[in-house]
Amino acid sequence: MLEARQRVAPLVPDIDPGDLLLILQSLLRPIGTGRRFFLRRRDSGGYVF
Partner 1 sequence: MSSDESFLQDVVAALHRVGLEAIVVGTVAGVLNGAPVMTQDLDLLVRDTPKNREKIGKLSAALQIAPPVQVSELSKAITLLGGALPIDILFDALPGGLTFEALRSRSSRVQIGDSAATVAALADVIASKQAAGRPKDLAQLPILRQTERVRAALKGGKSV
The CA dihedral of 26, 30, 35, 38, to the nearest 10 degrees, is 80
Binder among 2, 18, 32, 45 for partner 1 (CB under 8 A): 32
Please state the φ and ψ torsions of residue 18, each to the nearest 5 degrees: -65, -40
Measured CA angle at 13 (ends 16, 26), to 5 deg = 50
Contact call for residue 19 and partner 1 (CB under 8 A): yes
Tell me the site size for partner 1, rule CB under 8 A: 27
Binder among 41, 42, 43, 46 for partner 1 (CB under 8 A): 41
> What residues make contact with partner 1 under the rule CB under 8 A?
4, 7-8, 11-12, 15, 19-20, 22-28, 31-41, 47
